[in-house]
Amino acid sequence: MRLRRYLRNAGTLVLSALIVVWSLAPIYNMVLISLEPEGDVFTDHIWPRVPSFESFWGVLTQGHCIWSTSGISSPTASTSARW
């Protein structure tokens, strides 16, 4: 009975570790790509050699579609929600 409990706990630990890696890998990939300089998306490095916050600055200062679509999508979402 004790061996079964240890095996179940070990299986739970392994499954939990796999779920954490599975969940965090896409987030890591998004951060990695966003810190790459323009045009250097496909590299073989774990971390960018020269990280650049230029893409974040461009989104915040140039007023591209993120700000304009949020102004349209918020009223649309609030009026289409039915309680």
Position 57 scores a pLDDT of 74
Place of tokens 């679509």: 69
Position 81 scores a pLDDT of 61
**One domain, residues 3 and 26:** yes
Position 31 scores a pLDDT of 85
* Model pTM above 0.75: no
Position 26 scores a pLDDT of 92
**One domain, residues 45 and 61:** no
d(CA 22, CA 32): 16
**Tens-of-pLDDT digits for all 83 residues of the chain?**
889 999 999 999 999 999 999 999 999 888 888 887 776 667 777 777 777 777 777 666 775 555 555 556 666 666 666 55
**One domain, residues 20 and 7:** yes
**One domain, residues 58 and 48:** no
Q: Are 2 and 14 in contact (CB under 8 A)?
A: no
Q: Write out the residue range of the structural domain in which residue 74 sits.
A: 53-83
